[in-house]
Structure 1
């Protein structure tokens, strides 16, 4: 993936379809956050073709995660907190399901059954009680806990309150002044997701670089070359 090209094309898309929106400031002024987004996308484009994995849920979940990442790219220039929160919640939930499929391996665990797991089963009675979670270093445990926290925050009810006597005026306030958009909050969320996906997730999934296809190796090497510090510590 050519990150510079992808980011420039995304900026052009946003300016074409959201020309007056306040959130374009985020697109214009937060190149590092956009780079992280496209690196995450690049990673899952690689993983969705990792057909040597013993985890049968890896490929379908990676494809679902990609769809959610593309939805988030649409949500950002729209600048609506509800839309963004829904995408972040969906993304964090799919990431937790991916971790569950590794940490709580079960025979005949179908995709449909996995996707129907309640939060308590997924996190409290599942991931947190697994041996691999308990054996994580404290720093790695915090990285994973951050994804759970994003899921919990995204699940909280977002109350919509229109204080304007004129709906059109209120909507204009959102578009021009970002009444329901926080660049700082979004940047922090992207950072937490990026650290988890790039640094911890490949180790959780026990990805073997030597089993990548030549194209996957080239894509991953390109991704790693953009990272400081480099990921991939010893598998845990």
Structure 2
């Protein structure tokens, strides 16, 4: 009989997964400039720049952006052409008017709201960006669901029929909700992002070096047994 998601992700399994992901993250932390800032505005800018873009490509653009527009007030006064010049290396010109509108809105508000629903009302902020900003820069719990995390969850529970619609399914959202801790969410989510980018990769995952091993990951167990390890 095939075990259900609930059976695979028992309370004890979730505790072990959280612990191992955190420990792995401590050893393999990816050091990006926005991960060191205490400025909520800088964190929000970083999360928008990271949309559909690899982190390494964002580093130089993030630094230049913050140098030119160090506050919402500076961004609010900037011409879209100047914003576009800074964002040009990343492509995706759709971000330019959104950044301009965001600067004006934040300057009006005076601060970034620390409420998920209110964040979604800001220009350029969708569900993932709102959750990421809350957990990394807003001092709140944010539940992250992106394509890498969906892939990891599917492998974790042994589902082979996952597709682009999987992230909207209740079982997936419930699983991520249960796996995301109430305390230490910032460290856990950073570790999870780094782990799903470098270990549980698209194509061939690196099961041999995965901290979850064969005892916590259904796909890992299958792959390691097939290799005789």
TM-score by length of 1: 0.30
Q: 1 or 2, which has the higher helix percentage?
A: 1
TM-score by length of 2: 0.31
Q: Which has the higher contact order (CA 8 A, sep 6+)?
A: 1
